[in-house]
Amino acid sequence: MKINFKNLTVQVIIGIILGITIGFIFPEFGAQLKVLADIFIKLIKMVIAPIIFFTIVIGIGSMGDLKKVGRIGGKALLYFEIVTTFALAIGILVVTLIQPGSGFNTDGAKGADVSQYTDQAAEASHGFMDFVMGIVPDNAVAALAGGELLPILFFAVLFGIATASLGEKVKPVISLFEKLTDIFFAIVNMIMKMSPIAAFGAMAYTIGNFGIGSLVSLGKLMGSVYITMFFFIILVLGGIAKFYKFNIFSFIKYIKEEILLVLGTSSSESALPKMMQKLEKYGCSKSVVGLVVPTGYSFNLDGTSIYLSMAAIFIAQAYGIDLSFWQLATLLGVLMLTSKGAAGVTGSGFITLAATLAAFPMIPVEGMALLLGVDRFMSEARAITNLIGNGVATVVVSKSENEFDPNGYIETEEEVDVTSSHFNPTVEATVK
């Protein structure tokens, strides 16, 4: 079998393998290569705010029918709440049954510094009213400049609704935004050329800084998290996909490049722009993609939900704290709030965990130190689960609204390269 080294998927895989190798052989050098991943993440974040703003405005504005906007938004939010609550409950159930924290030595948590996470959690203020107030920006331009996802979503929705209500006279604005979106996606295509280097740097840092040996001490928790997320994707998301008549394995194969990118960078946000393009080519309408995907990155974090519930109870088990049924129900309620609005960037799950424990004092927040060494490894699993979950949600909403073109993506004997901005599946794909 001939390997195409020009293919982005192949390049990212090579980058990951080289990163693991360098991190293992030269750990000190590997730990310094995090800067490569950081630069890539910053480049992606540089374009995310305008892309989200333009795509939401285009999606809502081009619909014209405000009832349709409300219906799609309502369906998306209902789906997000049901599926993420299910993910939280599954996490609690599995970690309660497996008991990975029982008998764990908590001496490693003594003296460890988790202040950077607890401080950021305190600043985030995950109380309900603070959460609601945080959605409304003090200054829309400042929110765009600062890349604050929820305020950008709020302002973009208002802008889109206003655009839709004004009808034909604002069509030139929609047209301008579409052209600007094309420019930003062209920038994304340029940035994506660096993704193998970013994956190399991120993996070299992870292995060099924490070492492969760090996986052993918390292997039971990691194994539980990975297995839970795997079965969640295959059984829960797969079941949803089957109900809406598409195949989860085919879909995962279709977005394999985005999954590998997330695996390398531990950030689902790094794949957001390309994921939106891919979903449109898959058959989802531009308007649904523009509304559902950005919203899902704040409200539909399935992987983060599973991780938060399992990590919190793992800490309780490690400290010998037996939680009653009502305490578990209370924890579930707290997690339903704190899991919303967590960004798709590396480390956000850990910060959200700090906010959860701060709101649920039965579990000691210092127990987070037990997870410091392996959180990075688990962040990859939750980011991939978040990515797949948002993709499935977008297809589901598109199909339920009859906004899905079944001819948008046709499986081919040999996978077509969809990284090119000139790719047109209806023209270039060849049916098996």
Percent of the chain with pLDDT over 70: 76
Residue 374 corresponds to which tokens in the numbers above?
A: 């392996």
pLDDT of residue 71: 85
pLDDT of residue 247: 92
pLDDT at 127 over 70: no
pLDDT at 69 over 70: yes
Q: Is 189 exposed, middle or buried (0-12, 13-18, 19+ CB in 10 A)?
A: middle
Residue 115 corresponds to which tokens in the numbers above?
A: 């202040």
Least trusted range by pLDDT, from 121-125, 221-225, 394-398: 121-125
Residue 60's pLDDT band (cuts 50, 70, 90): confident
CA distances from 99 to 105, 315, 357, 379, 421 (A): 14, 10, 19, 21, 48
Work out the average pLDDT over 206-218.
Answer: 64
Higher pLDDT pick, 356 / 321: 321
Distance CA 109, CA 366 (A): 7
Identify which of 386, 390, 431 has the alpha carbon closest to the alpha carbon of residue 412: 431
pLDDT of residue 391: 93
Contacts of 361 by beta carbon, 8 Å cutoff, 6+ apart: none
Percent of the chain with pLDDT over 90: 12
Residue 428's pLDDT band (cuts 50, 70, 90): very low
pLDDT of residue 376: 66
Region of 167 on the Ramachandran plot (φ > 0 left; ψ -120 to 50 alpha; else beta): left
| For the chain, the helix, strand and coil percentages under 3-state DSSP, each to the nearest 5 | 75, 0, 25
Write down all domains in the chain, each with its CATH number in brackets: 8-414 (1.10.3860.10)
Phi and psi angles of residue 68, each rounded to the nearest 5 degrees, phi first: -65, -40
Work out the average pLDDT over 402-415.
Answer: 65
pLDDT of residue 51: 81
pLDDT of residue 252: 93
- Residue 194, CB half-sphere, CA atoms under 13 Å: how many? 19
Distance CA 418, CA 420 (A): 5
pLDDT, the chain, mean: 77
Least trusted range by pLDDT, from 282-286, 328-332, 344-348: 344-348
Q: ∠73-75-76 over CA atoms, to 5°?
A: 65
Phi and psi angles of residue 238, each rounded to the nearest 5 degrees, phi first: -65, -40
Distance CA 47, CA 318 (A): 42
pLDDT of residue 73: 82
pLDDT at 373 over 50: yes
Q: 3-state secondary structure string, 22-45? A: HHHHCHHHHHCCHHHHHHHHHHHH
pLDDT of residue 248: 94
Highest mean pLDDT among 8-12, 227-231, 299-303: 227-231
